[in-house]
């Protein structure tokens, strides 16, 4: 198992990588999005050197709100082109997996229509990513429409996609993260860990919410040995380091 941390898209990416490297993480989750970390502003060589200096590998992450499932065809088109631009950067950085997020049309459009729109966009993206050596991983969000059934329809229709299990998102709206891990275990390619109260997407440190981490990690360890990003949003980074310690400790014990 490898533990990583995200770079903040509005901060200096090299400083972000330095903190991640100095604090003993295995990889960086490169959150490439506005305003500072967009393709035209990034200095690839410097980022590569910074990663190499700390022997860090990387995974990639595009903005969570790209309209890949919008009812507006021109917005879907624009979102696909944006993702393709980021994929060029990730290819240069030799990043093997990149996250894109679920996205749904307005309420006048059915779940099936939303699935169709997303599949059109995701199909173009996975076709573009494959020759670059990149796997696209699909992260579900805290929306009513990100059900197990809908995610299953998307993953079944595009076999190139991996499943990105965001454990915090899967703990909302009465959902159970363990249930999703069991169901999608064969497609599991990346994990985000953070805690919450079951009602709001709080991105809390591990143990600050209601997730039973011992139960969850005991199962995860049996089926998965890949990348885990601590997607914890706290001003005080000690909470992140504490969560890393908790994860390592429980992983060892279970």
Contacts with Zn ion by CB under 5 A lie at 166, 192, 231
Angle between helices 13-22 and 44-53 (to 10 degrees): 10
Q: How far is the CB of 139 from Zn ion (least distance, A)?
A: 6
Q: How far is the CB of 37 from Zn ion (least distance, A)?
A: 16
Q: How far is the CB of 77 from Zn ion (least distance, A)?
A: 25
Q: How far is the CB of 229 from Zn ion (least distance, A)?
A: 7
> With contact defined as beta carbons under 8 Å apart, do 101 and 141 qualify?
yes
Give the Cα separation of 32 and 89 in Å (integer). Answer: 9
Nearest to 50, CA basis, from 61, 42, 41, 62:
42
Cβ of 47: how many Cβ atoms within 10 Å? 21
Q: φ and ψ at 103, to 5 degrees?
A: -150, 140
Q: Which two tokens stand for residue 189?
A: 């390619």
In the complex with Zn ion, the residue whose CB is nearer, 11 or 46, is 11
Q: How far is the CB of 120 from Zn ion (least distance, A)?
A: 24
Q: Would the CA dihedral through 23, 28, 31, 36 be positive or negative? A: positive
In the complex with Zn ion, the residue whose CB is nearer, 113 or 144, is 144
Q: Which two tokens stand for residue 8?
A: 């903040």
In the complex with Zn ion, the residue whose CB is nearer, 41 or 200, is 200
The DSSP-derived string for 104-119 is ---TTS-HHHHHHHHH
Which residue of the chain is nearest Zn ion when measured via CB?
192
Give the Cα separation of 47 and 220 in Å (integer). Answer: 31
Q: Which two tokens stand for residue 7?
A: 């770079």
Q: How far is the CB of 127 from Zn ion (least distance, A)?
A: 24
Tell me which DSSP letter residue 204 carries: B
What is the SS3 assignment for 96? coil
In the complex with Zn ion, the residue whose CB is nearer, 67 or 168, is 168
In the complex with Zn ion, the residue whose CB is nearer, 1 or 113, is 1
In the complex with Zn ion, the residue whose CB is nearer, 189 or 231, is 231
Q: How far is the CB of 165 from Zn ion (least distance, A)?
A: 9
In the complex with Zn ion, the residue whose CB is nearer, 110 or 167, is 167
Give the Cα separation of 210 and 109 in Å (integer). Answer: 34
């Amino acid at each position: 198992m490898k533990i990583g941390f995200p770079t903040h898209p509005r901060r200096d990416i090299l400083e972000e990588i330095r903190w991640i490297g100095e604090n003993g993480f295995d990889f960086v989750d490169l959150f490439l999005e506005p305003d500072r970390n967009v393709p035209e502003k990034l200095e690839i060589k410097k980022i590569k050197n910074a990663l190499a200096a700390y022997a860090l590998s990387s995974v990639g992450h595009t903005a969570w709100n790209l309209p890949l499932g919008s009812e507006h065809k021109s917005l879907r088109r624009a979102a696909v082109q944006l993702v393709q631009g980021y994929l060029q950067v990730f290819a240069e950085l030799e990043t093997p997996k990149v996250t894109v997020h679920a996205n749904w049309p307005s309420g006048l459009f059915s779940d099936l229509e939303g699935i169709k729109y997303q599949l059109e966009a995701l199909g173009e993206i996975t076709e573009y990513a494959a020759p670059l050596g990149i796997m696209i991983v699909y992260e579900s969000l805290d929306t009513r429409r990100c059900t197990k059934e809908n995610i299953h329809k998307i993953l079944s229709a595009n076999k190139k996609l991996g499943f990105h299990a965001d454990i915090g998102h899967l703990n909302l709206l009465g959902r159970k993260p363990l249930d999703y891990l069991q169901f999608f275990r064969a497609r599991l390619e990346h994990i985000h860990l953070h805690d919450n109260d079951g009602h709001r997407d709080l991105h809390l440190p591990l143990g600050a919410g209601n997730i039973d981490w011992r139960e969850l990690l005991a199962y995860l360890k049996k089926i998965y040995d890949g990348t885990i990003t601590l997607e914890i949003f706290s001003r005080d980074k000690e909470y992140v380091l504490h969560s890393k310690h908790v994860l390592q400790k429980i992983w060892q014990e279970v």
